């Protein structure tokens, strides 16, 4: 069975439209983030998060009324299926108290408030207390991990491929990170540690796709020096199209299984992965190669010129031999 028989789509014809679409999505996302901020999860903002399981069904409204008198703005929402009777309560980080059990105070006051309101019996199944110190620390680490990972991948691709390709790949990866952030904002997901882990995974994943196409471009360039670069690139995208779609499709469905059945704890993580996979595939096909061509365009119109420019890095013994001959 074969999904696509000798596909021959002219992807590069759509490059400007594709870039425009990406720019619109990213700007919309960044605009929303700039105005209303990216909701930070408890890992980064600090605060108190409690998941309470009630013995009898209660409504979010009842719980909200019960904890309303507490200082700060509380978030109350159902956690998981309604039948599980679990409610998530989140309190913001209050001023860092001087000493003592300050971390526990918010959690204790929630328990007291729930008891006072005469709600059914409950047990705490999950409790996360994060102080501002840890929140700030994790924020810094998150930013550092993001920057370092992008930088390291750029360097690696820069070594393995020629510069314009490295830029194309890394811009595509940035693109995926930004699109993912935009979608997190559109769907109101919080930026938690798990989500950051997913975004980092996406950077690795997105580069993968791009590398596969670029490897093929490099190989094709050696065989067909006379042809225009954009034609070779477009053909390479088509040659690897089956692989791109099958890999993205299977990974997407596998992650979809986590999103659907993995429970509340992995929802943000798997949502991020899903967006990242789609965006990664899209950017690989439409953005990365288009950028690589645009960037090399000014200098080299044909494959002959670029291939002989000497910076097309050899890969593998076979190719080395090919170059030597």
Q: Is 148 in the site for another protein (CB under 8 A)?
A: yes
Supply the minimum distance, in Å, between the C-beta of residue 146 and another protein: 8
Supply the minimum distance, in Å, between the C-beta of residue 231 and another protein: 18
State which residue, 15 or 135, has the beta carbon closest to another protein: 135
DSSP letter assigned to residue 38: P
State which residue, 15 or 89, has the beta carbon closest to another protein: 89
Supply the minimum distance, in Å, between the C-beta of residue 265 and another protein: 6
State which residue, 10 or 137, has the beta carbon closest to another protein: 137
Q: Is 224 in the site for another protein (CB under 8 A)?
A: no
237-276 binders of another protein (CB under 8 A): 239-240, 242-243, 246-247, 250-251, 253-255, 257-258, 260-263, 265-266, 269-270, 273
Q: Is 134 in the site for another protein (CB under 8 A)?
A: yes
Give residues with Cβ within 8 angstroms of 263, minimum separation 6: 80
277-316 binders of another protein (CB under 8 A): 315-316
Interaction pattern, residues 182-221, with another protein; x per rule: CB under 8 A? -----------xx--x--xx-xxx-xx--xx--xx--x--
2-61 binders of another protein (CB under 8 A): 2-3, 43, 51
Q: Which two tokens stand for residue 97?
A: 């108290």
Radius of gyration of the chain (CA): 25
Q: Which two tokens stand for residue 23?
A: 């720019």
State which residue, 23 or 260, has the beta carbon closest to another protein: 260
Confirm if 15 and 290 have CB atoms less than 8 A apart.
yes
Among 137, 186, 297, 299, binds another protein (CB under 8 A): 137
> How do strand 75-78 and strand 122-130 relate by DSSP bridges?
unpaired
Among 12, 87, 157, 303, binds another protein (CB under 8 A): 157
The whole-angstrom separation of Cα 247 and Cα 259 is: 18
Which part of the chain contacts another protein (CB under 8 A), choosing from 60-68, 70-78, 144-152, 226-234? 144-152
Give residues with Cβ within 8 angstroms of 94, minimum separation 6: 71, 72, 105, 106
The whole-angstrom separation of Cα 239 and Cα 12 is: 14
Confirm if 252 and 274 have CB atoms less than 8 A apart.
yes
Q: Is 123 in the site for another protein (CB under 8 A)?
A: yes
Give residues with Cβ within 8 angstroms of 155, minimum separation 6: none
- HSE of 123, CA atoms in CB hemisphere, 13 A: 3
């Amino acid at each position: 069975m074969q999904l696509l028989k000798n596909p021959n789509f002219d992807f590069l014809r759509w490059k400007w439209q594709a870039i425009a679409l990406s720019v619109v999505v990213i700007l919309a996302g960044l605009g929303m983030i700039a105005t209303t901020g990216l909701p930070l999860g408890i890992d980064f903002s600090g605060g108190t998060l409690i998941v309470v399981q009630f013995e009898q069904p209660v409504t979010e409204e009842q719980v909200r009324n019960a904890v309303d008198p507490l200082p700060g703005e509380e978030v109350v929402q159902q956690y998981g299926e309604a039948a599980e009777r679990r409610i998530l309560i989140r309190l913001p980080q209050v001023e860092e108290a001087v000493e003592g059990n300050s971390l526990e105070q918010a959690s204790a006051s929630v328990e007291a408030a729930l008891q006072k309101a005469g709600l059914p019996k409950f047990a705490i199944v999950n409790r996360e207390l994060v102080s501002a110190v840890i929140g700030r620390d994790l924020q810094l680490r998150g930013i550092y991990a993001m920057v370092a990972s992008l930088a390291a991948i750029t360097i690696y691709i820069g070594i393995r491929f020629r510069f314009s390709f490295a830029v194309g790949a890394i811009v595509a990866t940035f693109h995926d990170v930004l699109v993912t952030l935009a979608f997190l904002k559109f769907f109101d997901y919080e930026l938690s540690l798990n989500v950051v882990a997913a975004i980092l995974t996406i950077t690795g994943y997105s580069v993968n796709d791009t590398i596969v196409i670029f490897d093929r471009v490099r190989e094709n360039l050696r065989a067909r020096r006379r042809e225009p670069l954009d034609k070779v690139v477009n053909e390479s995208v088509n040659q690897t199209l089956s692989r791109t779609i099958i890999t993205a499709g299977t990974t997407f469905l596998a992650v979809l299984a986590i999103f659907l059945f993995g429970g509340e704890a992995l929802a943000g993580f798997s949502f991020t992965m899903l967006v990242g996979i789609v965006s990664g595939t899209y950017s690989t096909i439409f953005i990365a190669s288009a950028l690589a061509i645009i960037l090399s365009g000014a200098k080299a119109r044909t494959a002959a010129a670029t291939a002989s420019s000497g910076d097309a890095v050899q890969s593998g013994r076979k190719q080395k031999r090919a170059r030597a001959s």
